[in-house]
């Protein structure tokens, strides 16, 4: 499987994402600059964390207009897996690929520490390797991770089982309903604030995030065997 790791000015988790795919999974990964106008050769799209364009205006607000985002939208519409982590999640929200918005952490402070997550939906291409309600530990590193949406959107997320991950025990940022990660209705676009790419090897403090990437590859291979 061939992944595109999108790099914006200010991305700082692109190397982590590349390492997770290339070294831990043994799959293909390439850095793709933000002004790229085609993602045709890639099977999966990864939007890493960081501070795209310095987080001016709002986190992800400027990156949303990068040339490559037109292709990210096209990839999502074509059913390819699209994963946005931290700033990548914020960009997906700004681009309208996921519903809702991000606000400043309730503490108004940047937070960087491991958190406990619960798997709310393990029937997605991103979470099938996890057990239902499995608890895992994944690090966060953000100042604007307080997910918010209106009541109608929240009802829709619940009805369509689009809430994939929630914070377990302690909510670090005030996120609505403890939401840590959601998917689109089609099920191929996931946005999450915690960093699974920073939890793919015991040397990093834990490997709970590796199952997420394994889930993506497993889904892709099964789909291509069926369609072969």
Give pLDDT tens digits for 191-210: 999 999 999 999 989 999 99
pLDDT at 227: 61
pLDDT at residue 57 tops 90: no
Give pLDDT tens digits for 108-119: 999 999 999 999
Across 149-213, the runs of DSSP E, i.e. the strands, are 163-167, 179-183, 189-192
Catalytic option among 27, 71, 120, 197: 197
Query: Across residues 49-70, what is the average pLDDT?
Result: 92
Distance between CA atoms of residues 23 and 16, nearest Å: 10
Query: Across residues 5-17, what is the average pLDDT?
Result: 96
Catalytic option among 13, 27, 71, 86: 86
Q: Which domain holds residue 93?
A: 2-227
pLDDT at 147: 98
The reply to whether 30 belongs to the active site is no
The reply to whether 224 belongs to the active site is no
The CATH number that applies at residue 34 is 3.40.50.880
CB atoms within 10 A of CB 78: 11
The reply to whether 37 belongs to the active site is no
Give pLDDT tens digits for 90-104: 999 999 999 999 999
Total tally of structural domains belonging to the chain: 1
pLDDT at 224: 82
Distance between CA atoms of residues 168 and 152, nearest Å: 24
By CB atoms closer than 10 A (0-12, 13-18, 19+), residue 132 is exposed
């Amino acid at each position: 499987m061939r992944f595109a790791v999108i790099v914006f000015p200010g991305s700082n988790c692109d190397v982590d994402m590349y390492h997770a795919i290339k070294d831990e999974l043994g799959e293909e990964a390439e850095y793709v600059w933000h002004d790229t106008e085609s993602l045709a050769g890639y099977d999966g799209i990864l939007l890493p964390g960081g501070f795209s364009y310095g987080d001016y205006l709002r986190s992800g607000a400027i990156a949303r207009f990068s040339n490559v985002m037109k292709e990210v939208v096209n990839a999502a519409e074509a059913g390819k897996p699209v994963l946005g982590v931290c700033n990548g999640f914020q960009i997906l929200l700004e681009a309208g690929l996921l519903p809702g918005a991000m606000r400043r952490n309730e503490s108004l402070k940047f937070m960087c520490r491991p958190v406990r997550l619960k798997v709310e939906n393990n029937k997605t291409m991103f979470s099938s390797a996890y057990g239902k309600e499995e608890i895992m530990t994944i690090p966060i590193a953000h100042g604007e991770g307080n997910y918010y949406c209106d009541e109608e959107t929240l009802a829709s997320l619940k009805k369509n089982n689009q809430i994939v991950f929630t914070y377990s025990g302690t909510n670090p940022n005030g996120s609505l309903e403890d939401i840590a990660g959601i998917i689109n209705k089609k099920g191929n676009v996931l946005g999450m604030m915690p960093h699974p790419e920073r939890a793919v090897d015991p040397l990093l403090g834990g490997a709970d995030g590796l199952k997420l990437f394994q889930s993506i590859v497993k889904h892709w291979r099964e789909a291509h065997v069926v369609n072969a």
